[in-house]
Amino acid sequence: MSADITYFVLFCILNTLFAVLISPFFISLIKKVKAYCQGRRGPSLFQTYYNLFKLLKKETVYSNKSSFIMRIAPYINLIFTITAGICVPLIFIPNTNFFVGSVILFLYLLGMAKFFMAVAGLDGASTFGGMGSSREMTISSIIEPVIILIFVAFAYVLHTTDIHQMITVSSNIGGILFVKPALFPLLIALFIVLIVESMRVPIDNPETHLELTMVHEAMILEQSGKNLFMMELSSAIKQTILMAVLINIFFPFGFAKTLTFSSALIAMVWFFLKSCILCIVIGLFESSFAKLRLFRVPHFFVLAFFLSILTIIFEVFA
Protein backbone atom coordinates (compact mmCIF):
# COMPACT_ATOMS: atom_id res chain seq x y z
CA MET A 1 0.00 0.00 0.00
CA SER A 2 2.73 2.45 0.97
CA ALA A 3 4.56 1.55 -2.25
CA ASP A 4 1.41 2.44 -4.12
CA ILE A 5 1.21 5.78 -2.38
CA THR A 6 4.85 6.49 -3.20
CA TYR A 7 4.18 5.61 -6.80
CA PHE A 8 1.12 7.85 -6.84
CA VAL A 9 3.03 10.79 -5.40
CA LEU A 10 5.85 10.24 -7.89
CA PHE A 11 3.27 10.04 -10.67
CA CYS A 12 1.68 13.33 -9.62
CA ILE A 13 5.01 15.14 -9.53
CA LEU A 14 6.33 13.71 -12.80
CA ASN A 15 3.07 14.06 -14.70
CA THR A 16 2.48 17.62 -13.57
CA LEU A 17 6.01 18.82 -14.19
CA PHE A 18 6.14 17.19 -17.59
CA ALA A 19 2.79 18.65 -18.63
CA VAL A 20 3.68 22.14 -17.40
CA LEU A 21 7.09 22.18 -19.03
CA ILE A 22 6.15 20.67 -22.37
CA SER A 23 2.84 22.34 -23.14
CA PRO A 24 4.08 25.78 -24.29
CA PHE A 25 6.11 23.97 -26.94
CA PHE A 26 2.99 22.56 -28.61
CA ILE A 27 1.44 26.03 -28.87
CA SER A 28 4.50 27.24 -30.78
CA LEU A 29 4.58 24.11 -32.90
CA ILE A 30 1.01 24.66 -34.10
CA LYS A 31 1.86 28.28 -34.84
CA LYS A 32 4.88 27.16 -36.83
CA VAL A 33 2.82 24.70 -38.87
CA LYS A 34 0.25 27.37 -39.60
CA ALA A 35 2.99 29.81 -40.58
CA TYR A 36 4.44 27.28 -43.04
CA CYS A 37 0.98 26.78 -44.53
CA GLN A 38 0.72 30.51 -45.06
CA GLY A 39 4.17 30.62 -46.66
CA ARG A 40 5.88 32.32 -43.70
CA ARG A 41 8.77 31.07 -41.63
CA GLY A 42 6.96 31.73 -38.38
CA PRO A 43 8.31 32.34 -34.89
CA SER A 44 10.84 30.15 -33.16
CA LEU A 45 9.64 26.88 -31.65
CA PHE A 46 10.48 28.29 -28.23
CA GLN A 47 8.66 31.58 -28.75
CA THR A 48 5.89 30.72 -26.25
CA TYR A 49 8.50 30.17 -23.53
CA TYR A 50 10.03 33.58 -24.31
CA ASN A 51 6.59 35.20 -24.22
CA LEU A 52 5.78 33.61 -20.89
CA PHE A 53 9.13 34.68 -19.47
CA LYS A 54 8.48 38.22 -20.69
CA LEU A 55 5.04 38.26 -19.02
CA LEU A 56 6.57 37.18 -15.75
CA LYS A 57 8.76 40.25 -15.68
CA LYS A 58 6.02 42.71 -16.63
CA GLU A 59 3.93 44.69 -14.17
CA THR A 60 0.38 43.53 -13.43
CA VAL A 61 -2.42 45.96 -14.24
CA TYR A 62 -5.75 45.75 -12.45
CA SER A 63 -8.75 47.83 -13.40
CA ASN A 64 -10.02 50.14 -10.65
CA LYS A 65 -13.48 48.60 -11.21
CA SER A 66 -12.26 45.09 -10.54
CA SER A 67 -12.42 43.21 -7.25
CA PHE A 68 -10.55 40.39 -5.54
CA ILE A 69 -12.01 38.00 -8.13
CA MET A 70 -9.54 39.41 -10.64
CA ARG A 71 -6.69 38.53 -8.28
CA ILE A 72 -7.72 35.00 -7.37
CA ALA A 73 -9.18 33.88 -10.71
CA PRO A 74 -5.81 33.34 -12.47
CA TYR A 75 -4.55 31.23 -9.56
CA ILE A 76 -7.71 29.12 -9.46
CA ASN A 77 -7.65 28.75 -13.21
CA LEU A 78 -4.07 27.56 -13.23
CA ILE A 79 -4.16 25.23 -10.24
CA PHE A 80 -7.40 23.54 -11.23
CA THR A 81 -6.14 22.99 -14.76
CA ILE A 82 -2.97 21.45 -13.37
CA THR A 83 -5.01 19.29 -10.98
CA ALA A 84 -7.11 18.12 -13.93
CA GLY A 85 -3.82 17.06 -15.51
CA ILE A 86 -3.46 14.38 -12.85
CA CYS A 87 -6.56 12.67 -14.22
CA VAL A 88 -4.70 12.00 -17.47
CA PRO A 89 -1.47 10.02 -17.29
CA LEU A 90 1.09 11.13 -19.85
CA ILE A 91 4.02 8.83 -19.33
CA PHE A 92 3.15 6.12 -16.86
CA ILE A 93 0.09 4.82 -15.04
CA PRO A 94 0.17 4.31 -11.26
CA ASN A 95 -1.37 1.15 -9.79
CA THR A 96 -3.91 3.05 -7.78
CA ASN A 97 -5.16 6.57 -8.23
CA PHE A 98 -7.64 6.87 -5.34
CA PHE A 99 -10.48 7.50 -7.82
CA VAL A 100 -8.96 10.77 -8.98
CA GLY A 101 -8.84 9.57 -12.59
CA SER A 102 -12.56 9.77 -13.04
CA VAL A 103 -13.82 11.26 -16.29
CA ILE A 104 -16.42 13.46 -14.63
CA LEU A 105 -13.93 14.78 -12.10
CA PHE A 106 -11.57 15.61 -14.97
CA LEU A 107 -14.24 17.50 -16.91
CA TYR A 108 -15.52 19.39 -13.89
CA LEU A 109 -12.07 20.41 -12.72
CA LEU A 110 -11.63 21.98 -16.14
CA GLY A 111 -15.13 23.44 -15.69
CA MET A 112 -14.07 25.08 -12.42
CA ALA A 113 -11.10 26.67 -14.18
CA LYS A 114 -13.37 27.93 -16.93
CA PHE A 115 -15.96 29.26 -14.49
CA PHE A 116 -13.42 31.52 -12.83
CA MET A 117 -11.95 32.61 -16.14
CA ALA A 118 -15.41 33.66 -17.30
CA VAL A 119 -16.22 35.43 -14.04
CA ALA A 120 -12.92 37.31 -14.21
CA GLY A 121 -13.77 38.33 -17.77
CA LEU A 122 -16.77 40.23 -16.46
CA ASP A 123 -14.94 41.75 -13.51
CA GLY A 124 -13.16 44.50 -15.38
CA ALA A 125 -16.37 46.32 -16.40
CA SER A 126 -15.11 46.28 -19.97
CA THR A 127 -17.33 45.37 -22.88
CA PHE A 128 -14.90 42.89 -24.38
CA GLY A 129 -14.50 40.72 -21.33
CA GLY A 130 -18.24 40.19 -20.98
CA MET A 131 -18.56 39.39 -24.65
CA GLY A 132 -15.78 36.83 -24.44
CA SER A 133 -17.23 35.20 -21.31
CA SER A 134 -20.67 35.03 -22.83
CA ARG A 135 -19.43 33.41 -26.02
CA GLU A 136 -17.09 31.02 -24.28
CA MET A 137 -19.78 29.84 -21.87
CA THR A 138 -22.19 29.39 -24.77
CA ILE A 139 -19.77 27.33 -26.79
CA SER A 140 -18.65 25.24 -23.85
CA SER A 141 -22.22 24.46 -22.80
CA ILE A 142 -23.22 23.37 -26.27
CA ILE A 143 -20.19 21.08 -26.62
CA GLU A 144 -20.74 19.48 -23.20
CA PRO A 145 -23.24 16.77 -24.34
CA VAL A 146 -20.81 15.71 -27.03
CA ILE A 147 -17.97 15.32 -24.55
CA ILE A 148 -20.14 13.29 -22.20
CA LEU A 149 -21.37 11.10 -25.05
CA ILE A 150 -17.82 10.37 -26.12
CA PHE A 151 -16.97 9.23 -22.63
CA VAL A 152 -20.19 7.24 -22.39
CA ALA A 153 -19.05 5.45 -25.52
CA PHE A 154 -15.65 4.79 -23.95
CA ALA A 155 -17.35 3.59 -20.79
CA TYR A 156 -19.49 1.19 -22.81
CA VAL A 157 -16.56 -0.20 -24.79
CA LEU A 158 -13.90 -0.25 -22.10
CA HIS A 159 -16.21 -0.93 -19.11
CA THR A 160 -14.71 1.73 -16.90
CA THR A 161 -15.26 5.40 -16.12
CA ASP A 162 -11.72 6.10 -15.05
CA ILE A 163 -9.32 7.62 -17.57
CA HIS A 164 -6.33 5.83 -16.03
CA GLN A 165 -8.10 2.49 -16.39
CA MET A 166 -9.37 3.34 -19.86
CA ILE A 167 -5.80 3.85 -20.99
CA THR A 168 -4.66 0.68 -19.21
CA VAL A 169 -7.40 -1.41 -20.82
CA SER A 170 -6.75 0.11 -24.20
CA SER A 171 -3.01 -0.53 -23.96
CA ASN A 172 -3.57 -4.11 -22.77
CA ILE A 173 -5.62 -4.92 -25.84
CA GLY A 174 -3.08 -3.17 -28.06
CA GLY A 175 -4.86 0.07 -28.93
CA ILE A 176 -8.61 0.27 -28.95
CA LEU A 177 -8.78 1.57 -32.49
CA PHE A 178 -6.93 -1.46 -33.88
CA VAL A 179 -9.21 -3.91 -32.10
CA LYS A 180 -12.43 -2.07 -32.91
CA PRO A 181 -12.04 -0.05 -36.10
CA ALA A 182 -15.70 0.89 -35.74
CA LEU A 183 -14.61 3.41 -33.14
CA PHE A 184 -13.04 5.63 -35.77
CA PRO A 185 -15.96 8.13 -35.68
CA LEU A 186 -15.22 8.57 -31.99
CA LEU A 187 -11.67 9.63 -32.85
CA ILE A 188 -13.06 12.34 -35.12
CA ALA A 189 -15.54 13.44 -32.45
CA LEU A 190 -12.79 13.64 -29.85
CA PHE A 191 -10.66 15.62 -32.27
CA ILE A 192 -13.52 18.10 -32.72
CA VAL A 193 -13.81 18.41 -28.94
CA LEU A 194 -10.07 19.05 -28.75
CA ILE A 195 -10.38 21.82 -31.35
CA VAL A 196 -13.34 23.37 -29.54
CA GLU A 197 -11.97 23.15 -26.02
CA SER A 198 -8.61 24.60 -26.97
CA MET A 199 -10.47 27.38 -28.81
CA ARG A 200 -9.01 27.02 -32.26
CA VAL A 201 -10.21 27.90 -35.79
CA PRO A 202 -13.16 27.24 -36.94
CA ILE A 203 -14.56 28.04 -33.46
CA ASP A 204 -12.25 30.79 -32.41
CA ASN A 205 -9.02 32.25 -33.68
CA PRO A 206 -6.28 32.29 -31.03
CA GLU A 207 -4.26 34.78 -33.08
CA THR A 208 -6.89 37.44 -33.54
CA HIS A 209 -7.42 40.56 -31.50
CA LEU A 210 -10.16 41.92 -33.71
CA GLU A 211 -13.06 42.75 -31.42
CA LEU A 212 -15.80 40.98 -33.33
CA THR A 213 -14.03 37.67 -33.79
CA MET A 214 -12.42 37.20 -30.38
CA VAL A 215 -13.81 34.67 -28.00
CA HIS A 216 -11.16 33.38 -25.63
CA GLU A 217 -8.83 36.30 -26.20
CA ALA A 218 -11.59 38.79 -25.37
CA MET A 219 -12.20 37.08 -22.08
CA ILE A 220 -8.60 37.44 -20.93
CA LEU A 221 -8.12 40.87 -22.48
CA GLU A 222 -8.01 42.57 -19.09
CA GLN A 223 -5.31 40.24 -17.79
CA SER A 224 -1.71 41.31 -17.72
CA GLY A 225 1.67 40.45 -16.30
CA LYS A 226 1.80 37.37 -14.11
CA ASN A 227 -1.97 36.91 -14.34
CA LEU A 228 -1.80 36.67 -18.10
CA PHE A 229 1.10 34.26 -17.64
CA MET A 230 -1.16 31.99 -15.59
CA MET A 231 -4.02 32.21 -18.08
CA GLU A 232 -1.76 31.49 -21.07
CA LEU A 233 0.00 28.65 -19.32
CA SER A 234 -3.23 27.08 -18.20
CA SER A 235 -4.71 27.10 -21.69
CA ALA A 236 -1.50 25.51 -22.98
CA ILE A 237 -1.70 22.81 -20.29
CA LYS A 238 -5.36 22.25 -21.02
CA GLN A 239 -4.60 21.69 -24.68
CA THR A 240 -1.82 19.24 -23.80
CA ILE A 241 -3.95 17.14 -21.47
CA LEU A 242 -6.83 17.02 -23.94
CA MET A 243 -4.36 15.91 -26.60
CA ALA A 244 -3.13 13.31 -24.14
CA VAL A 245 -6.65 11.94 -23.70
CA LEU A 246 -6.95 11.44 -27.44
CA ILE A 247 -3.45 10.08 -27.93
CA ASN A 248 -3.29 7.80 -24.93
CA ILE A 249 -6.69 6.19 -25.36
CA PHE A 250 -6.44 5.61 -29.09
CA PHE A 251 -2.69 5.05 -29.46
CA PRO A 252 -1.45 3.83 -26.06
CA PHE A 253 2.13 2.97 -26.95
CA GLY A 254 5.37 3.49 -25.18
CA PHE A 255 4.15 3.80 -21.59
CA ALA A 256 6.71 3.22 -18.90
CA LYS A 257 5.78 -0.16 -17.37
CA THR A 258 8.18 0.12 -14.46
CA LEU A 259 9.32 3.46 -13.25
CA THR A 260 13.00 3.79 -13.94
CA PHE A 261 14.86 6.81 -15.22
CA SER A 262 15.43 5.38 -18.68
CA SER A 263 11.92 4.01 -19.17
CA ALA A 264 10.39 7.33 -18.09
CA LEU A 265 12.66 9.11 -20.54
CA ILE A 266 11.62 6.78 -23.35
CA ALA A 267 7.95 7.27 -22.48
CA MET A 268 8.42 11.03 -22.56
CA VAL A 269 10.01 10.84 -25.99
CA TRP A 270 7.16 8.65 -27.21
CA PHE A 271 4.55 11.04 -25.91
CA PHE A 272 6.42 13.99 -27.35
CA LEU A 273 6.58 12.43 -30.81
CA LYS A 274 2.92 11.43 -30.83
CA SER A 275 1.84 14.89 -29.67
CA CYS A 276 4.01 16.55 -32.30
CA ILE A 277 2.20 14.57 -34.99
CA LEU A 278 -1.15 15.56 -33.51
CA CYS A 279 -0.06 19.21 -33.37
CA ILE A 280 0.88 19.09 -37.04
CA VAL A 281 -2.56 17.66 -37.81
CA ILE A 282 -4.20 20.42 -35.76
CA GLY A 283 -2.11 23.05 -37.55
CA LEU A 284 -3.05 21.69 -40.97
CA PHE A 285 -6.70 21.43 -39.93
CA GLU A 286 -6.70 25.03 -38.71
CA SER A 287 -5.10 26.23 -41.93
CA SER A 288 -7.70 24.58 -44.11
CA PHE A 289 -10.75 26.11 -42.42
CA ALA A 290 -12.14 29.59 -42.05
CA LYS A 291 -13.59 30.75 -38.76
CA LEU A 292 -17.28 29.97 -38.42
CA ARG A 293 -19.90 32.52 -37.45
CA LEU A 294 -20.84 32.09 -33.80
CA PHE A 295 -24.32 30.82 -34.60
CA ARG A 296 -22.95 28.35 -37.12
CA VAL A 297 -20.83 26.75 -34.42
CA PRO A 298 -23.64 24.45 -33.15
CA HIS A 299 -23.83 22.92 -36.63
CA PHE A 300 -20.22 21.91 -36.27
CA PHE A 301 -21.01 20.29 -32.95
CA VAL A 302 -23.92 18.39 -34.36
CA LEU A 303 -21.42 16.55 -36.56
CA ALA A 304 -19.48 15.44 -33.49
CA PHE A 305 -22.71 14.61 -31.66
CA PHE A 306 -23.88 12.51 -34.58
CA LEU A 307 -20.58 10.63 -34.79
CA SER A 308 -20.46 9.80 -31.12
CA ILE A 309 -24.08 8.73 -30.91
CA LEU A 310 -23.54 6.59 -34.01
CA THR A 311 -20.71 4.79 -32.28
CA ILE A 312 -22.81 4.23 -29.20
CA ILE A 313 -25.68 2.85 -31.24
CA PHE A 314 -23.26 0.42 -32.89
CA GLU A 315 -22.07 -0.59 -29.46
CA VAL A 316 -25.54 -0.90 -27.93
CA PHE A 317 -27.10 -2.93 -30.68
CA ALA A 318 -24.02 -4.93 -31.66
Partner 1 sequence: MEIVISQQALIYLFSAACLLICLGIIISLLFLKSNKFAKNSGLIIILISTVIFALISSYVLLKNIPLSFTSYEISPLLKISFFVDRLAAFFILVISIISFCVALYSFDYVNHYENPKKRNLLVFFMSSFIISMILVVCSKTTFAFLFFWEIMSLSSFFLVMFNFEKEETKKAGLFYFIMTQLSTVFLFIAFLILAIQKKNFLIDATLFSSPILLAIFLSCLLVGFCIKAGVVPFHKWLPYAHPASPSNISALMSGVMIKVAIYGIIRFFMLYNSSLFFGILILCIGTISAILGVIYALKEHDIKRLLAYHSIENIGIILIGFGLYIIFETNNLYALATLSLIAALFHTLNHALFKSLLFLTAGSVIMETKTKNIEEMGGLIKQMPYTGFFFLIGAISICALPPFNGFVSEFMIFESFLKSSALVSPMLKLLLIICVSIFALMSALAAACFVKAFSITFLAAPRSEHARHAKEVPFLMLLSNAILAGLCFVLGVYSYPIFSLFGLNLPVPNLMIVGIITGIIFIAAYIFFLVFASKKERVPETWGCGINTQTPAMEYTASGFSEPIVTIFRGIYRTKKEVHKEYYDNKNCIVKEGNAEISLFNFFELYIYMPVVNFFSKVSDLFCKMQNGNLDAYILYALFGIVFLFIYIGWFT
Q: Within 149-168, which residues bind partner 1 (CB under 8 A)?
A: 149, 151-152, 155-156, 159, 161
133 binds partner 1 (CB under 8 A): yes
Q: Should residue 176 be labelled a site residue for partner 1 when binding is judged by CB under 8 A? A: no
* Interacting residues with partner 1 between 3 and 42 (CB under 8 A): 12, 16
**Closer residue to partner 1 (CB): 152 or 267:** 152
Distance (Å, whole) CA 194 – CA 22:
18
Q: Which of 35, 142, 182, 266 touches partner 1 (CB under 8 A)? A: 142
- What is the C-alpha separation between 192 and 198, in angstroms, rounded? 10
**Does 78 contact partner 1 by CB under 8 A?**
yes
Judged by CB under 8 A, does residue 112 bind partner 1?
yes
Binds partner 1 by CB under 8 A, chosen from 47, 51, 134, 287: 134
Check binding of 225 to partner 1 (CB under 8 A). Answer: yes
Whole-angstrom distance, CA of residue 203 vs CA of residue 206 = 10
Q: How far apart are CA 286 and CA 37, in angstroms?
A: 10
Spatial CA neighbour of 198 closest among 180, 216, 220, 219:
216
Handedness of CA 42, 44, 49, 55 (dihedral sign): negative
The residue within the footprint of partner 1, chosen from 42, 130, 175, 254 (CB under 8 A), is 130
Q: Which is nearer to partner 1, 33 or 87 (CB)?
A: 87
For partner 1, the closer CB: 147 or 256: 147
C-beta of 43 vs 298, nearer to partner 1:
298
Q: Residue 43 CB, nearest distance to partner 1 (Å)?
A: 23
Which range in 101-109, 198-206, 249-257, 280-288 contacts partner 1 by CB under 8 A? 101-109
Listed residue (111, 89, 72, 75) closest to 7, CA to CA = 89
Alpha-carbon span 246 to 97, nearest angstrom = 20
Q: Which is nearer to partner 1, 43 or 225 (CB)?
A: 225
Instruction: Pick between residue 253 and residue 314 the one whose CB is nearest to partner 1.
Output: 314
For partner 1, the binding residues in 281-310 under the rule CB under 8 A are 294-295, 298, 305, 309
* Residue 204 interacts with partner 1 (CB under 8 A): yes or no: no
Dist CA 266 CA 269 (whole Å): 5
Residue among 7, 36, 49, 108 that touches partner 1 (CB under 8 A): 108
Calpha distance 126→61 (Å, rounded): 14
109 Cβ contact partners less than 8 Å away, ≥ 6 residues apart: 80, 81, 83, 84, 87
Q: How far is the CB of 193 from partner 1 (least distance, A)?
A: 12
Is 227:74 a contact under the CB 8 Å cutoff?
yes
Please state the closest distance from residue 86 (CB atom) to partner 1, in A: 6
**Which is nearest to 85 in space by CA: 214, 243, 308, 218?**
243
The only residue of 14, 147, 194, 304 in contact with partner 1, by rule CB under 8 A: 147
C-alpha distance from residue 84 to each of 26, 110, 186, 237 (Å): 18, 6, 22, 10
Would you count residue 47 as binding partner 1 (CB under 8 A)?
no
Taking the least distance from each CB to partner 1, the nearer of 56 and 273 is: 56
Contact of 264 with 255, CB cutoff 8 Å: no
